Structure 1
């Protein structure tokens, strides 16, 4: 069973990954993962604790997020391990990777 620390870390990595792949709004993240809106918002706010810098581009509901800097995080590692991350979090991998399982 994963720890709260691990799931929190993986959730942050997942959100940054999704944003970098164009799933870059809170409604889109909620739709793809099924996570509660508040969890998505809180996780998004917590990305700065990992030195992942994101910005909001656009105006209000017509905008989206973009990853500006990954800090010490390797986005290639996330992409290679996305199925394990999703499995650990209990999220549907095929929706996130675009592959059918």
Structure 2
């Protein structure tokens, strides 16, 4: 694998997380299970999506007082989600995710 810069890996990680949320892997535990990513990395990456103008909200389950619910991408900003889907294999390989 070719080593990529921290900037590129951070960018790709955000794209990957947004792609997962868009495709139903939309909770922190699900992201952790799917990717093997540490909890803090998953949480921080979700929070940082706004830096790319990706609007991601947490929809809490009605009637629940705990934090049950899931994330949803409301707006992709200038990011082309179709490009991500077409290049997801390359993105995962660059991040060294299975």
- Do these two structures clear the TM 0.5 threshold for a shared fold by scoring above it? yes
Please say if 1:80 is aligned against 2:86: yes
Residue aligned with 1:61, SS: coil
Match of 1:90 in 2: 96
Paired with 1:28 and 1:61, the residues of 2 have a C-alpha distance of 14
C-alpha displacement of 1:58: 1.5
2:18 aligns with one of 13, 16, 19: 16
Q: Relative contact order, CA 8 A, sep 6+: which one is greater?
A: 2
Q: State the aligned residue count.
A: 92
Paired with 2:50 and 2:9, the residues of 1 have a C-alpha distance of 17
Structure 2 residue runs without a partner (length 5+): none
Q: Runs in 1 of length 4+ with deviation above 3 angstroms?
A: none
C-alpha displacement of 1:48: 0.3
Match of 2:5 in 1: 3
Bigger helix share? 1
Paired with 1:45 and 1:61, the residues of 2 have a C-alpha distance of 16
Worse-matched range after superposition: 57-66 or 46-55: 57-66
Structure with the greater alpha carbon radius of gyration: 2
Paired with 1:86 and 1:54, the residues of 2 have a C-alpha distance of 21
